[in-house]
């Protein structure tokens, strides 16, 4: 290999490493600041620049949050119910729909798939008022199950697209062998396809759960007190005259712990599921 080729290869690797380094810093900086600010006093946080001296760090923010833990715990419980309900429905409806669009002889399956994805291009604010009016007239406002159904509207299309990409790559020989044994599409899907689809199902489930857990806009509009989710509880630390930044960050850190733990536990399934869906889609 010539010197010029080696120099070009080295420059390419350095460029890739630099890009990855920038992406890593860009991604981790908000998380690092969240952790740091949750331990800083209010005076240190509002200083210009923020005071990061050792004396500025304290556990008082967490103590104050835990003293009002009833509200935070209530919000986390509501978020867990809403996210679990929405995720379970998205998987129960999305997996069969994705399999039908990927493997069955449906007319204009690709058009239907793109129409499903196109629903995500509509901004939430466009449907907020009509949705609020309908739910209010039905008497379903401030209800965790109603919120779960609303979240299904944006979780289901993503779940269908993730799983459809995986199903498209499954060898057709598996289904042909099942058909030879007398299995129809439903039995093939239940006993052949689902057992080998655990990684993409786990990836889709974690993605849908996190999306529902973190959603703020519709929760703000469609809930009052009994069904408020954890993002709304965290937002309450911003008052009319003062924002208690340290306590807000401490509450946010506590609230994101479950989803971080979930992502760590299922990291292998998430990576494998998304990789399989991208490679086979």
Distance, CA of 145 to CA of 267 (rounded, Å): 28
- Structure token pair of residue 184: 């129809």
Surface-to-core class of residue 253, CB atoms within 10 Å of its CB (0-12 exposed, 13-18 middle, 19+ buried):
buried
In a domain, 254, yes or no: yes
**How long is the chain?**
281
pLDDT in tens, 76-92: 999 999 999 999 999 99
The predicted structure's pLDDT at residue 275: 62
What CA–CA distances, in Å, run from 123 to 62, 120, 129, 217, 223?
36, 8, 12, 11, 20
Q: Using 50, 70 and 90 to split pLDDT, how confident is the model at 179?
A: confident
pLDDT in tens, 55-75: 888 888 888 888 776 678 888
- CATH number assigned to the domain comprising residue 159: 1.10.3720.10
Residue whose entry in the numeric block shows the structure tokens 């807000």: 248
Strand partners, 161: none
Q: Using 50, 70 and 90 to split pLDDT, how confident is the model at 1?
A: low
**Cα–Cα nearest to 70, from 236, 218, 212:** 236
Distance, CA of 214 to CA of 232 (rounded, Å): 10
Rg of the chain on CA atoms, in Å: 24
Please state, as a whole number, how many other Cβ atoms lie within 10 Å of the Cβ of residue 90. 28
Our count of domains for the chain comes to: 1
Distance, CA of 48 to CA of 215 (rounded, Å): 31
Please state, as a whole number, how many other Cβ atoms lie within 10 Å of the Cβ of residue 142. 16
In a domain, 272, yes or no: yes
- Structure token pair of residue 9: 């290869």
Mean pLDDT in residue range 25-33: 88
Would you say residue 266 has pLDDT above 80?
no
In a domain, 16, yes or no: no
pLDDT in tens, 216-251: 999 999 998 888 999 998 888 776 556 788 888 888
In a domain, 262, yes or no: yes
The predicted structure's pLDDT at residue 245: 82
In a domain, 153, yes or no: yes
Domain enclosing residue 223, as ranges: 61-280
In a domain, 20, yes or no: no
In a domain, 184, yes or no: yes
The predicted structure's pLDDT at residue 281: 47
Q: What are phi and psi of 40, to 5 degrees?
A: -95, 150
Residues 6+ apart with CB under 8 A from 154: 119, 120, 124, 211
In a domain, 123, yes or no: yes
């Amino acid at each position: 290999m010539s010197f010029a080729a080696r120099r070009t290869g080295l420059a390419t690797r350095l460029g890739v490493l630099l890009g990855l380094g920038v992406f890593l810093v860009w991604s981790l900086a908000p998380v690092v600041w969240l952790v740091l600010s949750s331990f800083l006093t209010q005076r240190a946080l509002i200083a210009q620049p923020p005071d990061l001296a050792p004396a500025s760090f304290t556990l008082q923010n967490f103590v104050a949050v835990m003293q009002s833990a009833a509200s935070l715990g209530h919000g986390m419980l509501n978020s867990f119910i809403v996210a679990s309900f929405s995720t379970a429905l998205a998987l129960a409806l999305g997996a069969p729909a994705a399999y039908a669009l990927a493997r069955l002889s449906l007319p204009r399956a690709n058009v239907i798939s793109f129409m499903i994805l196109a629903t995500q291009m509509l901004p939430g604010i466009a449907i907020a008022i009509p949705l609020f009016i309908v739910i209010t007239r039905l008497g379903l406002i401030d209800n965790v199950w109603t919120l779960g159904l609303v979240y299904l509207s944006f979780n289901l299309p993503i779940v269908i697209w993730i799983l459809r990409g995986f199903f498209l790559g499954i060898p057709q020989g598996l289904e042909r062998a099942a058909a030879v044994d007398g299995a129809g599409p439903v039995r093939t899907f239940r006993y052949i396809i689902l057992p080998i689809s655990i990684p993409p199902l786990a990836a889709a489930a974690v993605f849908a759960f996190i999306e529902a857990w973190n959603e703020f806009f519709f929760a703000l509009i469609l809930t009052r007190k009994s069904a408020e989710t954890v993002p709304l509880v965290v937002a309450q630390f911003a008052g009319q005259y003062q924002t208690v930044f340290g306590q807000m960050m401490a509450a946010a850190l506590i609230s994101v712990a479950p989803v971080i733990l979930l992502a760590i536990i299922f990291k292998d399934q998430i990576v494998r599921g998304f990789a399989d869906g991208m490679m086979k889609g």
